[in-house]
Each structure stands twice: as C-alpha cells, then as structure tokens.
Chain A
Amino acid sequence: MSARSLAAATRAGAPIFAALGDETRLRIVARLSDTGPLSIARLTEGEAMTRQAITKHLAVLAEAGLVRDMRSGRERLWALEPSPLDTARRYLDLVSQRWDGALARLAALVEVDDD
C-alpha cells in the first residue's frame, strides 16, 4: 500500500474508530447486530440515559456510516449499515446507473436529427 493510499484509508477509517470508541455506542451497535432494527424508545430501554443522549450517539454512528435510520410505518427505526466499503460501492453503482440513463437519453437526443 502506498503512503498516499494508506493515508486515504486511514482518513476513511478514522470516523469509524472514533465512533466506536465509546461504550454506549459499542453497546448500541452490538444490540442492533443481535436484534435487527430498533426504535429509539427500544434502544433507550435499559440504558441509564435519556432519549436525547441516545439520539446523539446514533447521530455519531450515522455520520461514520455505521447505522442508518429508516421509516417503518409511523416509526423511525435504526439499523446497522452494511460495511462502509459496501455502501461506497453500492453508491457508485447507483451513480453509474444514473449515468447509463442519462447517456441513453443523450444518444436519443443527438442521434435522431441530422446536424
């Protein structure tokens, strides 16, 4: 690994290590891993902390790409994110698909008429 790619990998990994460097957040990750998606109310159960505090911890985890929120009916649930690399790759697939669509439309536009 070159110094440059090592630096990039470290930069990419730093928020993940920072996010997991806290007992409460580690516990949240472990619980979501055991049970699947949970609401904030459920995540606050058994913790000696307020809903607001748990929400803040979830925000740190989300910013690092470790968890994400999703809607289930009227409820907001928190779930573990697939690995950040996985997310990054899937995102690229999505962008790629979008370009495929755009380029097909571009072809349709420029190939129909004579210049």
Chain B
Amino acid sequence: MTTTDSIKKQIVLRATPARVWRALSNAREFGTWFGVDLRDDFVPGAAIQGKVVYQGKDVAFTFHIERMEPERLLAFRWHPFAVDPEIDYAREPTTLVELALAPAPEGTLLTVTESGFDQLPLARRAKAFEMNDGGWAAQMENIERHVRT
C-alpha cells in the first residue's frame, strides 16, 4: 500500500461505544454527521441509496455496506466526491471506509481508515479540488444548519 492510497484518523469521543454505534449504524443519524441524506437502513451486504446536495441539485449515490459488528466495526464502500452529475461513477473503483470502535477511558476511540485511493483515476482526483470549492463547503453549511435546529 502506498502513502497516497489510504488515510487514517483517530478521535476519542466522550460517549459510550453504544451511543457512538447508534450514530454510525442508524442511517438517519449517520447522514446527519456524514453530510448525506440516506433513505434505507444499514444492513450488511445492502446497497444504500442516498443523495447529496451539490450546487443546488440532488446527486444520487450509493453506499455498499460490507460489515457491521455492533459497537466494533462499520465497513462500507463508496465513490468519494462523486458529485458530478455528468460522470457515471458506477464503473469506477470504490474506496473502502472502515470505522472501528474501541472502549477508551474517556469514552470511545474511533479509528477511521479509508483506502483504495490509488485505484481511482488520477484525473478524477484532480477534479475533486474544483468540486471541493463550492460543493462540500455548501454541504457543511447544510449540516451546521441541521445540527443547530
């Protein structure tokens, strides 16, 4: 695995693994913090349909749930930054996102690993910078509004 293939993030959350698991496994709660609008419940093996709002338009996308181990692991595949309606992402490789939970003295240690970026077309990765400017910033504002109200 190269240094450009994956990222890893860790955060200690001041909440029980049970509470964190609910935020990961409940589609509605997941959508709130992840920044997507999800329609279906998470079930291992399921293709979950969702949408993001990009430049005022709804863009559909799919999560493929790979594994669910309560209070331990949620793993899914998706197409990151798949917000250009002119592109058919379905034929492109996906990245694998693993959200692992472990009890910690202060609450719960969450480790996020997203891998498989080297398989994505480089041109698509370059394009993401353009997408990032308006799209994800706007998406963040959507979420902030959602959380405040």
- On whether the two chains bind one another, the answer is yes
Tell yes or no: A30 within 8 A of B by CB: no
Check if B7 sits within 8 Å of A107, measured CB to CB. no
Check if A99 sits within 8 Å of B7, measured CB to CB. yes
Of the 9-residue stretches B11-19, B57-65, B84-92, which lies at the interface with chain A? B11-19
Interface of A is mostly: helix
Check if B125 sits within 8 Å of A87, measured CB to CB. yes
| New A-B pairs, 13, CB < 8 Å, besides A8-B2, A103-B110, A113-B19 | A65-B123, A65-B125, A85-B4, A91-B126, A92-B7, A99-B7, A99-B9, A106-B23, A109-B23, A109-B33, A109-B147, A115-B16, A115-B18
User: Which chain B residue shows the least CB distance to A16?
Assistant: B122
* 16 A-B interface contacts by CB (under 8 A): A9-B2, A15-B122, A65-B122, A68-B123, A81-B126, A87-B126, A88-B4, A90-B129, A91-B117, A92-B7, A94-B128, A99-B112, A106-B23, A106-B34, A111-B14, A115-B22
Check if A8 sits within 8 Å of B15, measured CB to CB. no
Tell yes or no: B143 within 8 A of A by CB: yes
Residue count of chain A within 8 Å CB distance of chain B: 38
| Distance between Cα atoms of A100 and B33 in the complex (Å) | 11
Q: How far is the CB of A37 from chain B (nearest CB, A)?
A: 14
Residues of B within 8 A of A70 (CB): 130
Check if B4 sits within 8 Å of A92, measured CB to CB. yes
Tell yes or no: B136 within 8 A of A by CB: yes
Residues of B within 8 A of A106 (CB): 11, 13, 20, 23, 33-34, 110
Tell yes or no: B93 within 8 A of A by CB: no
Tell yes or no: A95 within 8 A of B by CB: yes
| Distance between Cα atoms of A99 and B125 in the complex (Å) | 16
Tell yes or no: A28 within 8 A of B by CB: no
Q: Mark A59-70, 1 if CB is under 8 A from B, else 0.
A: 000111100101
| Distance between Cα atoms of A100 and B117 in the complex (Å) | 18
Check if B19 sits within 8 Å of A115, measured CB to CB. yes
Tell yes or no: B80 within 8 A of A by CB: yes
Q: How far is the CB of B97 from chain A (nearest CB, A)?
A: 9
Check if A115 sits within 8 Å of B15, measured CB to CB. yes
